[in-house]
Chains A and B, each alone.
Chain A
Amino acid sequence: MGMIIAENISKKYGDGDTAVIAVCNVTFSIGSGEFVSIMGESGSGKSTLLSIIGALNRPTTGKLIIDGTDIYSLTQDERADFRRKYMGFVFQNFYLIPYLTIAENVMLPLATIKEKKSKKRAMAKDALSLVGLSDKANRLPNEISGGEQERVAIARAIVNTPPLLLADEPTGNLDSKTGRSIMELIKRLNRDGMTVVMVTHNHEYATYGNRVLKVADGVLI
């Protein structure tokens, strides 16, 4: 995984008087293997910035280059392929699919790749064991705690060993003890070589990163 380079990125929602500038002319770079925390208050534009880095949200202006590829010059399907190969997402609300078991949720990113079922199961098992949930593989999301659901979301994000992990407030819905354990887990993944970009408004959790990017009113400060 090469560098992430963001050049003069801006994102504007709406037009005219009702237009909102969520991100304004932001430029930064993130090196391979870095753990970068993006910090800011609610509505500062940090989540928008993360979704732009995650190839989910086309910026109004500017360029995002990951590993030498101009992400937003790709077609929608090419961006989907890029996300599948290079990125893992962890969301604040976990976003586990309620009708799939924990193991099935973890295997979701593997659904579109041609691989033997046994291999996919083994990959899911490895990911679940990494987050300490091997024994709950056959449960449904509503049968485990919030902290466990977050761990499942992390297992799902790393099941296909992507080089980049994007986490949006991964501890937002958790108590401080569970939050810390999640942060330890993410830090461990980073130590193992995964580039991590995490959005948080919590100062303590932000310090888990090697570097902090502070955002206020859509601008890096």
Chain B
Amino acid sequence: MTLKNIAVENLRRRKGRAFFVLIGLLISATTIVILISLVHAMKEDINHKLELYGANILILPKTESLSFSYGGLTLGGVPFYAAEIKEEDINKIKQIKNAANVAAVGPILLGPVVVNGHRLHMAGVDFRLLSILRPWWNIKGEIPPEKGAILGHDVARFLNLTPGDRFLINKQKLEVKGVIEKTGSQDDGLIFVPLPLAQEILGKKGHISMAEVAALCTGCPIPEMVRQIGEAIPGANVMAIEQVVKGRMETLNHFERFSYGISVLVLVIGSLMVLVTMMGSVKERTVEIGILSAMGFRKSHIIKTILLESGMISGMAGIMGYGTGFLATKIIVHFFSGGHGAQVLFNPFFAIGTLLLSLTVGLIASTYPAIMASRLDPNEALRAL
């Protein structure tokens, strides 16, 4: 017979109260696990969906200019240096530290062309990456495999061209394969052709004007990636499209703050439940505590016995809470995403964290009842019957 035996036997043979404390902590632990796992899964899912927003980093050639004013009038900058980006430079992005966060890199070559006697702008792009870099495009027609063009909404209207029509571009005959529905952006005024064709038409083989990068956002440090790309391509001016990045982060942070707030609330309620139940238990066991004191149990022995009990229940609640929370999250995610959403994976660190959290809450909430029990006057306790 040891203090541990007393605690174990009390829990084993007085299941009702032990069950109540267990349920209190189990609900807390499960709720926290569900919330945090759910938010984590949602973050992943949202990240995935946010990627559909397209590019969030721009790579432009570095230019330097001098501001020029004459007679008090500012006449704008005079460029004196313009670096060029070569197509092969883009491959260097694959070697940066955060290369795994790069979903797609889309090189673009821009240049003026003459179409049916009109001067217009043409953009050479990699049509295979359109679904990542321009996921919002609605195209009437098709995306050309090699030759052919996609026209922006305004250009198509201006030239009065529809899919299937042919037109001359710098003396090359091309077929309109698709027309983009109005986007409200600069894309409406551009003629899109495959990059190699644009390089051939413009006589800029191996050169590009800029590149767009779509970075995955699962913990992606966009400013850090901007720095890394800048170092990898010295002739480039790398910029993050701040609005998108900040928007993504803010959305994620909202979810995180919400879950932590609810978790704290649930923890407080759980610990209050433990406190009330343990206080009730101490009151119920006044005589028993009196007997133990009369038999020579020190204050510390009484405290230890009560904390052992709550520690065992809390530990059990922590383990069970992680298990039920994990399963519940899996079911919830599956139910809401139809099986195509984010994954919920077993996380041993989270499991240990849940166990420790449950133990801490259980022990802290039981400390006051344990101290109260240890302070019971054995004589008063025995007279209480």
Contact = CB atoms under 8 A, between A and B. Distances in A.
A204 interface: no
B291 A81 contact: no
A143 to B, nearest CB: 13
A76 B299 contact: yes
A95 B1 contact: no
Interface in B276-333: 287-288, 290-301
Contact of B298 (A57, A89, A99, A112): A112
Contact of A89 (B5, B14, B294): B294
B167 to A, nearest CB: 92
How would you classify the secondary structure of chain A's contact residues: helix, strand, loop or mixed? helix
A109 B296 contact: yes
B5 A104 contact: yes
Contacts of A84: 295-297
Nearest to B304: A112
Contacts of B298: 77, 80-81, 112
A109 B292 CA distance: 8
Interface in A56-114: 56-57, 76-77, 80-85, 87, 89, 91, 93, 95, 97-100, 104, 107-112
Contacts of A151: none
A89 B290 CA distance: 12
14 contacts: A56-B378, A57-B379, A76-B299, A80-B293, A80-B296, A82-B296, A83-B294, A84-B296, A95-B382, A99-B9, A100-B9, A104-B9, A109-B296, A112-B297
Interface residues of B, number: 28
A209 interface: no
Contact of A80 (B290, B297, B379): B297
A57 B382 CA distance: 11
A132 B301 CA distance: 31
A45 interface: no
Contacts of A76: 299
A117 B1 CA distance: 7
Given A111-B297, A112-B301, 16 more contacts: A80-B293, A80-B296, A83-B296, A84-B297, A85-B296, A87-B296, A91-B382, A93-B385, A95-B288, A95-B290, A100-B6, A104-B1, A108-B6, A109-B295, A111-B1, A112-B298
A104 B378 CA distance: 21
Contacts of B300: 77
A178 interface: no
Given A80-B297, A104-B1, A104-B5, A99 B291 contact: no
B352 to A, nearest CB: 31
B22 to A, nearest CB: 17
B14 A81 contact: no
A54 interface: yes
A97 B288 contact: yes
Contacts of A51: 379, 382
Given A95-B382, A99-B10, A100-B9, A112 B296 contact: yes
